[in-house]
Structure 1
Amino acid sequence: MIVKDKEFVEYISASEISSRIAELGTSINSDYKDKRPLFIAILNGSFMFAADLLKEVAIPCEISFVKVASYEEMESTGNVKQLIGLNETIFNKDVIIIEDIVDTGRTITKILEEFISLGASSVEVITLLQKPASNDLGDKIKYIGFSIPEKFVLGYGLDYDGLGRNLKDIYQLKD
């Protein structure tokens, strides 16, 4: 598949994604059975993952959204900018951050620091994809859908310069 000027090949199918999200939902239902978590989805990339994940969550919960940016085309800028903030208090709440991909770990580290400083009771992270560069985050990422290699991916909410978010499968840049 060609997107813009790059060739991509299917990497994770929609059925594999769906199956893994069901497993993650089961884990969250168990871990938070006596709590009412606030899910905070990081836009734009996590919108599909967040929607499908919440369909698997059977416990009382809330969801909100924030938008941050750290990418231009295919490269992380290393500069995290919060574009749209949180509209409700997270003080004394159990927060689960929904991320599409944890690549370098810079974005999620900044978000974790900010949410902890706002007085959340707990802050956990669920990510659909994790790359090896972020492995040094240790236990900061509680739920991981798939560990993937250091290759650029798109689809299922992830984009290449704004394109490809609508694809139901995840594609990897062809060698």
Structure 2
Amino acid sequence: MQNVIERVLVTREEIEKRCDELGKEISEAYKQDKEAPLLVALLKGSVPFLSELIKHIDLDIQFDFMNVSSYQGTQSVGDVKILKDLDISIKDRRILLVEDIVDTGRTLKKVTQLLMNKGAADVKVVALLDKPERRVVDIEADYIGFTIPDEFVVGFGLDYNEHYRCFPYVGVLKKEVYK
């Protein structure tokens, strides 16, 4: 199955090391707060990242999930749909939105606005990957794992039509797979 990968961009070891660094940075940023941030993970892609990241956050965190969709195949279509909303109230809570990749920024912007409209005290973003070359809206993550080039990537939660999420690394998908 891994013969669909052109090359590995980020190894499992690099992801683990960077999650440790991010966890320490996040812990330090929120340690003075009376209440730890609520981590809101966007399904399905961010689940492996969330799972690794929370091992390294030294706070009594809670987390919840949203399922949003904005992709068809390899393209962001710009229409963000909420498929599953949060199970708990976020009124007056500090939110740390956990995202697998910031690409065009459309999904992140919409979800951030939605969370603020629901009464969040503030919303910060931690993303495993950032692809700034593709940005079409003005939004940035507060914590970034890795900045990557404009290539179609899969693995560690990222998929192509629901396939290849289970790779323990982030790799560039061969063009012949999706063309």
TM-score by length of 2: 0.90
In structure 2, the partner of 1:47 is 47
Amino acid of the structure 2 residue aligned with 1:90: I
Report whether the alignment pairs 1:26 with 2:24: yes
Q: What is the identity, as a one-letter code, of the residue corresponding to 1:22?
A: D
Distance 2:75 2:3 in 1: 19
Matched residue, 2:6: 8
1:25-60 Cα shifts (integer Å, max 9, x gaps):
000000000221100000000000001111111111
Corresponding residue SS for 2:135: helix
What pairs up with 1:2-151 in 2 under 5 angstroms? 2-3=3-4, 7-35=5-33, 36-132=36-132, 133-134=134-135, 137-138=138-139, 140-151=140-151
Percentage identity across aligned positions?
37
Structure 1 residue 9 displacement after superposition: 1.6
Cα distance between partner residues in 1 of 2:173 and 2:163: 14
Q: Is the 8 A contact 2:45 2:99 kept in 1?
A: yes
Q: CA deviation at 1:71?
A: 1.1
SS in 2 for 1:2: helix
Which amino acid counterpart does residue 11 of structure 2 have in structure 1? S
Change (3 A) 1:135 1:26: farther
In the TM superposition, residue 123 of structure 1 has moved relative to its aligned partner by 0.6
Q: Which residue of 2 aligns with 1:152?
A: 152
Give per-residue Cα distances to partners, 1:48-85, cap 9 Å, x unaligned.
00011111111111100000011112111211110001
Matched residues in 1 for 2:22 and 2:138: separation?
Answer: 20
Segments of structure 1 that go 5 or more residues without pairing to the other structure are none
TM-superposed deviation, 1:137:
3.0
Query: What is the Cα deviation at residue 174 of structure 1?
Result: 4.3
- Would the alpha carbon gap of residues 21 and 121 (structure 1) be closer, same or farther in structure 2, given more than 3 Å must change? same
Residue identity opposite 2:27 in structure 1: N
Unpaired runs of at least 5, structure 2: none
State the alpha-carbon separation in 2 of the partners of residues 76 and 98 from structure 1. 18
**Structure 1 residue 121, shift from structure 2 partner:** 1.1
Say how many residue pairs are matched: 171
Q: CA deviation at 1:2?
A: 3.2
Query: What is aligned with 2:169?
Result: 169
SS in 1 for 2:88: coil
For 2:107, what is the secondary structure of its paired residue? helix
